[in-house]
């Protein structure tokens, strides 16, 4: 039940799609001028903050009879500042399903099943999200049981230790993936002091030690699961006034007290770092070149330009993609990823190479591509087309209450609201070809780079 920036498996629940008709009328009428308008998010947003610090965001949708209910905890693996406690945010996500005195685990599970609801959760580097999609008529029941576990979670030491064993099993399963092993090595080498040094699931030694951390887990709950560190997001066939009244009724007595952990900033990197991974199974070689970037900031034009640069330089319409994937067929896949993070993350370029002997040549091709964008601005028309594709893909992704919540959860978690959506796309609209050059020169230089090569045992 966890996910992080490089693709730890997230368990998704099924739901009949409300239908793409939610946006069809709006998109059909959208003109180029409207695409440049003040707001991109197509739905009205209602927000209310309560005296205890709990923030509630409601987005009514034309989704008859269906609603989704998300509890977004603004704590992820970045907040694990104590030595030996990496992976605890993800582990604690598991414990949140252990029930309360009023609703023990089996009673909670029966309640969810009886409603026909889909309930799950995931953990990332920057936040943890608990989500339930259900019939809108069951809203009050959902508010009741969710508010209870967030205020009154209760579990014994034996249950805690059982879950700790399950989490270690999950870790052992995850590292059978070459991508997971690569990501683990990459972060450990690329970061010195920031908590992004470990992946969301944590260091193996810390996971193995979790069964002894029962008392720490109780303290973790008291520290981080506070109303002033949680945002509720409810979308679908709901009325805002009804939602706010229910939240006041069931969450009103929840006591605040969150204090942000002191996450140590990562010092500037002064030179290239390199590492390698020997994968015990069969796989094509992987080459990852990751560069120290900047945190998500709509006021930072370099960051926004870097997002577009990744697609321009390494997307499916790029020259290097046509050359290495389609024409020469030297790589099976190549792509770039510029994540949206609360603190400065890694901007990634990853490729799966068909033959180990081509690894050096592929890296040279990537470096040559970056040098080109550092010296030559991209075609303005191609840049404008890419901006339109980003906007259109975002809008087309809002086709159900669940999908709306999934699209917004990260921005809500790292910024505290939905206002960042419009700011982000307005900032993207302002990016010019010269901004792409500046971003390429700023971020994609050897001094900021960590290069990891993974090779399999293909004998």
| pLDDT tens digits along 219-254 | 999 999 999 999 999 999 999 999 999 999 999 999
pLDDT band at 299 (very low <50, low <70, confident <90, very high): very high
Q: Are residues 304 and 298 in contact, defined by beta-carbon separation less than 8 angstroms?
A: yes
- The verdict on residue 37 lying in a domain is no
When divided into structural domains, the chain yields a total of 2
- The verdict on residue 256 lying in a domain is no
Same-domain status, 359 and 415: yes
pLDDT at res. 6? 33
Instruction: Return the bridge partners of 233, or none.
Output: 57, 70
Instruction: Decide if pLDDT at 32 tops 70.
Output: no
pLDDT at res. 319? 97
Residue ranges making up the domain that contains 193: 21-25+42-251
pLDDT at res. 7? 33
Q: Are residues 132 and 68 in contact, defined by beta-carbon separation less than 8 angstroms?
A: yes
What pLDDT digit, counting tens, does each position of 77-100 carry? 999 999 999 999 999 999 999 999
Same-domain status, 55 and 86: yes
Instruction: Decide if pLDDT at 36 tops 70.
Output: no
Handedness of CA 315, 319, 324, 327 (dihedral sign): positive
- The verdict on residue 319 lying in a domain is yes
Instruction: Decide if pLDDT at 206 tops 70.
Output: yes
Q: Specify the higher pLDDT residue, 2 or 260.
A: 260
Instruction: Decide if pLDDT at 405 tops 90.
Output: yes
Last residue of a domain, one of 218, 251, 284: 251
What pLDDT digit, counting tens, does each position of 261-296 carry? 999 999 999 999 999 999 999 999 999 999 999 999
- The CA–CA distances, whole Å, from 126 to 3, 35, 343 equal 11, 30, 9
Same-domain status, 88 and 171: yes
List the structure tokens of 143. 């508010």
Same-domain status, 217 and 324: no
Average pLDDT estimate for 439-456 = 98
- The verdict on residue 3 lying in a domain is no
Same-domain status, 358 and 395: yes
Q: Tell me the CATH number at 99.
A: 3.30.830.10
> At a CB cut-off of 8 Å and minimum separation 6, what does 236 contact?
59, 60, 61, 63, 66, 67, 68, 136, 401
pLDDT at res. 458? 81
Q: Are residues 129 and 409 in contact, defined by beta-carbon separation less than 8 angstroms?
A: yes
Instruction: Decide if pLDDT at 34 tops 70.
Output: no
- The verdict on residue 235 lying in a domain is yes
Same-domain status, 130 and 230: yes
pLDDT at res. 39? 87
Instruction: Decide if pLDDT at 409 tops 50.
Output: yes
Q: From start to end of 258-345, where are the E strands? A: 273-279, 286-292, 331-337
- The verdict on residue 11 lying in a domain is no
Same-domain status, 281 and 229: no
Which of 428, 449, 452, 282 minimizes the C-alpha distance to 367?
449
Name the pTM for this structure: 0.91
What pLDDT digit, counting tens, does each position of 360-377 carry? 999 999 999 999 999 999
pLDDT band at 349 (very low <50, low <70, confident <90, very high): very high
Enter the DSSP assignment of 264. Answer: P
Instruction: Return the bridge partners of 72, or none.
Output: 129, 231
Which of 444, 430, 316 minimizes the C-alpha distance to 374?
444
Average pLDDT estimate for 149-177 = 96
How far apart, in whole angstroms, are the C-alpha atoms of residue 305 and residue 301?
6
- The verdict on residue 222 lying in a domain is yes
pLDDT band at 33 (very low <50, low <70, confident <90, very high): very low
Same-domain status, 218 and 320: no
Same-domain status, 176 and 308: no
pLDDT at res. 11? 27
Same-domain status, 194 and 123: yes
Same-domain status, 193 and 295: no
Instruction: Decide if pLDDT at 359 tops 60.
Output: yes
- The verdict on residue 154 lying in a domain is yes
Last residue of a domain, one of 251, 283, 306: 251
Same-domain status, 237 and 179: yes
């Amino acid at each position: 039940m966890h996910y992080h920036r490089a693709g730890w498996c997230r368990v998704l629940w099924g739901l009949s799609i409300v239908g793409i008709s939610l946006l069809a009328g709006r998109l059909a009428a959208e003109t180029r001028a409207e695409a440049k308008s003040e707001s991109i998010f197509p739905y009205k947003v209602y927000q209310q903050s309560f005296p205890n610090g709990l923030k509630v965001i409601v987005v009514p949708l034309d989704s008859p009879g269906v609603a989704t209910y998300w509890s977004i905890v603004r704590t992820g693996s970045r907040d694990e500042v104590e030595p030996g406690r990496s992976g605890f945010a993800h582990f604690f996500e598991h414990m949140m399903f252990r029930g309360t005195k009023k609703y023990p685990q089996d009673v909670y599970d029966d309640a969810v099943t009886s409603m026909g609801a889909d309930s799950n959760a995931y953990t990332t580097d920057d936040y943890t999200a608990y989500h339930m999609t259900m019939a809108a008529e069951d809203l009050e029941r959902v508010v009741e049981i969710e508010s209870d576990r967030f205020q009154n979670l209760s579990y014994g030491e034996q249950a805690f230790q059982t879950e700790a064993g399950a989490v270690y099993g999950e870790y052992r399963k995850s590292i059978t993936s070459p991508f997971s092993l690569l990501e683990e090595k990459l972060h450990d080498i690329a970061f010195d002091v920031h908590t992004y040094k470990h992946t969301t699931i944590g260091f193996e030694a810390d996971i193995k030690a979790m069964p002894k951390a029962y008392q720490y887990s109780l303290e973790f709950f008291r520290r981080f699961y506070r109303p002033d560190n949680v945002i509720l997001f409810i979308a679908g066939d709901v009325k805002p006034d009804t939602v706010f009244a229910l939240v006041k009724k069931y969450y009103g007595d929840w006591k605040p007290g969150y204090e942000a952990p002191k996450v140590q900033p990562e010092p500037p990197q002064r030179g290239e770092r390199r590492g390698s991974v020997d994968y015990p199974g069969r796989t094509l070689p992987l080459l990852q070149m990751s560069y120290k970037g900047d945190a998500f900031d709509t006021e930072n034009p370099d960051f926004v330009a870097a997002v577009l640069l990744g697609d321009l330089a390494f997307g499916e319409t790029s020259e290097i993609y046509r050359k290495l994937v389609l024409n020469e067929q030297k790589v099976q896949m190549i792509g770039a990823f510029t994540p949206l993070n609360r603190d400065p993350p890694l901007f990634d370029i990853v490729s799966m190479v068909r033959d180990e002997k081509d690894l050096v040549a592929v890296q040279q091709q990537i470096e040559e591509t970056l040098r080109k964008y550092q010296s030559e601005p991209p075609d303005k028309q191609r840049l404008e087309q890419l901006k339109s594709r980003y906007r259109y893909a975002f809008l087309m992704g809002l086709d159900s209450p669940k999908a709306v919540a999934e699209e917004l959860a990260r921005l809500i978690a790292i910024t505290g609201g939905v206002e960042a959506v419009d700011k982000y796309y307005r900032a993207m609209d302002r990016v010019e070809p010269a901004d792409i050059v500046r971003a390429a020169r700023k971020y994609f230089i050897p001094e900021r780079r960590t290069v990891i090569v993974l090779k399999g045992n293909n004998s």
